[in-house]
Structures are given as C-alpha cells and as structure tokens.
Amino acid sequence: MKRNRFLYGFIMLLMGIVLMGNSAEASEYVQITAKCKEAGRASLEIYVLDDVVDGFNIYRADEQNGTYQLIDSVSTYDLSGTGYYDYDNNVSVDYIYTDATDLQLYHTYYYRIEVYSQESDNQNVLETVDTEVMIVGQGTTISKAKRKGKNGVTLSWNAVSDADGYQIYCVSDYDDQNNELYVNPYDESSYTLIGTVSKNTTSKNFSKLINGATYYYIVYAYRNVDGNRYLSVPSEYKYVTMDYYGCDKESYVARVKRAYGSEKKMKKNFKTEKKARKQMKTIKIKVWDYRKGKKGKKVTKTKYLTVNKRLAPTIQQIFKEIYNNKEKQVIHDIGCYSYRAGEHMYGLAIDVNANENYMIDGKKVLAGSYWKPKKDPYSIPDNSQFVKIMKRYGFYRGAWGKRKDYMHFSYFGT
C-alpha cells in the first residue's frame, strides 16, 4: 500500500529546510534528509513513501561537482530497527544510514542515493536522490549552570582543543510580558544566540534574568574555515530556574522550607497569635492609585503590609515589579496578616482591593461587592500583568471551582 507521499514529502522537505547542516530533496519514492548529529558522522534519514522500495545504493563525492564513489549498498532489511519518531517535526523516520568513513571535519560531502526495488537477482533503480551535509566537529559539555545571586547565572563548559571560540544559546519559559511559554529543550531551533566568546573563554555570566523563569542553555564550539564560521554539534542542554525569591515552580516541600523552615516549626511558631505575630514583618511598598476618585492621573502612594518575615523579601520584590510595570494597576486597599483560619494566619495570603474583587460561592457573595474588570479599574483582570507577576512569584489567585476569591493571592494556593 502506498503512503500519502505528498503530505509526508512536504513535511520532510520542511525538515530539510529548517534544520541546520542538512538538506533534503523532494522525490517520488523516498524523502531523505542528511544530518550531522554526531561529530564526524553523516546520517541519512530516510522516509519511505512507497513500499516497493527494497534498498539503496549510496554514493559520495568530496566536492559539489566531484566524482561520486559507491560507498555502500544496503537493503531496507539491513536498516530495519534504525528508525525513530521525530517528535519535533511530528514525522516518522523509517531508516537511518550512518557514514563515518574517512570524513573530514568542517567539510561538506555530497551524497547520491539510488533507490531500488529488487526483482529476483536484479535491481530496478526507481529514482536517484541527491543531498549534502556539512560534517561538524566535537562539541563541548556544559560543566556548570548555576544561579548567581538574585538574578544571574554562571555558565561554564569544557574546552574543545580545535575550537576557535564558542557560542551560547538560550531559551526561556517566560517572555518579557510575563507570559509562560512551552519549551522543548531538545529543539535546537528554538534557542537564541546570547553570547559569542573566544577559544580561551570557557565561562560566562548572565544577569538581569527573570525570577521564576527557567533558562535552558546549549553551547556550540565553532571553527572558522575559509572565512566562514561553522558550529559543532551542540552540547546537551542545562537549565537553571531563577528561584532566589519564591516562584511558581517551587514544590510543596520547598515552599514549607521557605515559609516556615520546616513543618515542625510551622506548628510550633503559629500555635498562638502571640507566637505568630513574632513571625511577621511590616514592609513598606509603593503602589499606584488615583489622586481622587477612579479616574484621572495616577500617583504614587505608600502602603504598609504585615507579612510572613521569611517571605518578606519575595513580597517586597513582587510589589516592586508591579509598581514598575507599565500596567500601573491601581491599589487603594491591601492587607495580608490576620490571625484567622487560612493562609492569612501565616502572613502568606494577600487581599487586594477587597470591595472591587469580591469572594463568591456560585452566585452567593461572601465578601466584597463585585468584580467588574472591564468597568472598574480596581477590579483586577485575570489576564493582567498583576496576576501574572503574582503567579510567577508563586502567589495564586483564589479560584476553587464555583468558589472564587478575586481579591485573594496566596502562597500555597488555599
């Protein structure tokens, strides 16, 4: 049975276009993509479009217009079990042929593949496919990826003897608008170049990173050949989560440690109101509000907030970001610690503009008056920068099925 050759042929052609260091040629019976995924090796990834294909005669030339020499003849049976599913491009690769014979690093080789069907002792050549690939050198290994201080990362890697330098690439799961992004760390095309250094440099610091974001890094060694720069195979990725302050990626255990020190201390230090009060700290924050009423010029106002002393640096930083954000969410009413049931007792829940961000259970109003984010500037929209910043630091808005508490942002989500 023939496969849908046009659909899969188009997909595989796209693979050849977007993946660095390989090419693919559209054909009738197969799609072949040449890659250099390991130093000094060429891989021919083959997707069969028609089941009449029985094998391949593989030729190679050292130059674009050079003489092709037969290097191997293999059947589909010989290559069985070599395929895989390419999740990045959502296609199957049926066979992989690997060539590692006398290949020169940072040199382009040209392959010509005769696709044949077998009839008794005779080969019937169905078509010929040409492709090419640059053979790259050995990459490096990242030896250290570690958070440095509040918003920095130190990245170190092992030296490569024949490298002329290194390039560092990165991808993050947050953008500059506080939107959380899906990251596939194995997809090299999603990374962005963030640094180029000389061969004598094997470490680099990065700063001004976003708290709560995870940064993924890969490093390439590069060689300069005939005026062109060629990258090695990439290192395996390493990642760093910026968690100096609280963040939404913290586990329950990590949150307990940050907020209380331990569960034992939590039970001990909050047993009475007097003990709980000793675990609090009053911080001063700057917020935006209207000079008068609910419109007009926004001005800076100072608020005092009593919070869990161990989370005080995090909460201080949250409101610093909210204040500096272009959104300028207005706040006229804010509170945190109150010795009552829930996270307020621990100084870990913050109520903002309570009247305009009500608490409801279904249609029943339990606290506040309303939530009208399109009409009232004190009603905070769900998709606002305010909510996104809170979440990135690990403070979640109250939403539990039919029960909604729009004023409420808590560290444990209760």
Is the model's pLDDT at 11 over the cut of 70? Answer: no
| E strand or H helix that includes residue 55 | strand 55-61
| Cβ burial 212-239 (10 Å sphere, 16+ → b, else e) | bbbbbbbbbbbbeeeeeebbbbbbebbb
User: pLDDT for 378-389, tens place per residue?
Assistant: 999 999 999 999
Q: Where are the chain's structural domains?
A: 5-135, 142-241, 252-410
Q: How far apart are CA 332 and CA 352, in angstroms?
A: 8
Is the model's pLDDT at 88 over the cut of 80? Answer: no
pLDDT at 12: 36
Residue 98, SS3 per DSSP = strand
Q: In the structure, what pLDDT confidence band is assigned to residue 302 with cuts at 50, 70 and 90?
A: very high
**Residue 125 · residue 111 · CB < 8 Å:** no
Q: 219 forms bridges with which residues in the sheet?
A: 168
Q: How far apart are CA 254 and CA 149, in angstroms?
A: 18
Q: How far apart are CA 143 and CA 353, in angstroms?
A: 48
pLDDT at 92: 84
Average pLDDT over residues 95-117: 96
Average pLDDT over residues 223-242: 95
Q: In the structure, what pLDDT confidence band is assigned to residue 7 with cuts at 50, 70 and 90?
A: very low
Q: How far apart are CA 75 and CA 34, in angstroms?
A: 18
Q: How far apart are CA 304 and CA 375, in angstroms?
A: 27
- Tell me which fold the domain 142-241 belongs to: Immunoglobulin-like (2.60.40)
Average pLDDT over residues 242-258: 98
pLDDT at 90: 75
Q: In the structure, what pLDDT confidence band is assigned to residue 91 with cuts at 50, 70 and 90?
A: confident
The better pLDDT of the pair 10, 354 is held by: 354
User: pLDDT for 181-212, tens place per residue?
Assistant: 999 999 999 999 999 999 999 999 999 999 99
The two three-digit tokens of residue 330, written as one number: 């207005």
pLDDT at 25: 52
pLDDT at 10: 36
C-alpha distances in Å from residue 9, one per residue of 13, 31, 53 = 6, 6, 15
- Tell me which fold the domain 5-135 belongs to: Immunoglobulin-like (2.60.40)
C-alpha distances in Å from residue 403, one per residue of 68, 171, 363, 374, 413 = 72, 37, 9, 21, 13
* 352 exposure class (CB count in 10 Å sphere: 0-12, 13-18, 19+): buried
The two three-digit tokens of residue 33, written as one number: 């993509």
Instruction: Name the pTM for this structure.
Output: 0.85
Is the model's pLDDT at 239 over the cut of 50? Answer: yes
Q: 290 forms bridges with which residues in the sheet?
A: 298
**Residue 120 · residue 21 · CB < 8 Å:** no
Is the model's pLDDT at 97 over the cut of 90? Answer: yes
The better pLDDT of the pair 10, 113 is held by: 113
pLDDT at 340: 94
Is the model's pLDDT at 13 over the cut of 50? Answer: no
User: pLDDT for 133-182, tens place per residue?
Assistant: 999 999 999 999 999 999 999 999 999 999 999 999 999 999 999 999 99
Is the model's pLDDT at 306 over the cut of 90? Answer: yes
The set of residues, in sequence order, having a beta carbon less than 8 Å from that of 349 and lying 6+ positions away, is 336, 342, 343, 408, 409, 410, 411
Segment among 84-93, 190-199, 256-265 with least mean pLDDT: 84-93
pLDDT at 27: 76
Is the model's pLDDT at 14 over the cut of 70? Answer: no
Same fold, 5-135 and 142-241: yes
C-alpha distances in Å from residue 372, one per residue of 330, 368, 378, 379 = 14, 12, 9, 6
Q: In the structure, what pLDDT confidence band is assigned to residue 26 with cuts at 50, 70 and 90?
A: low
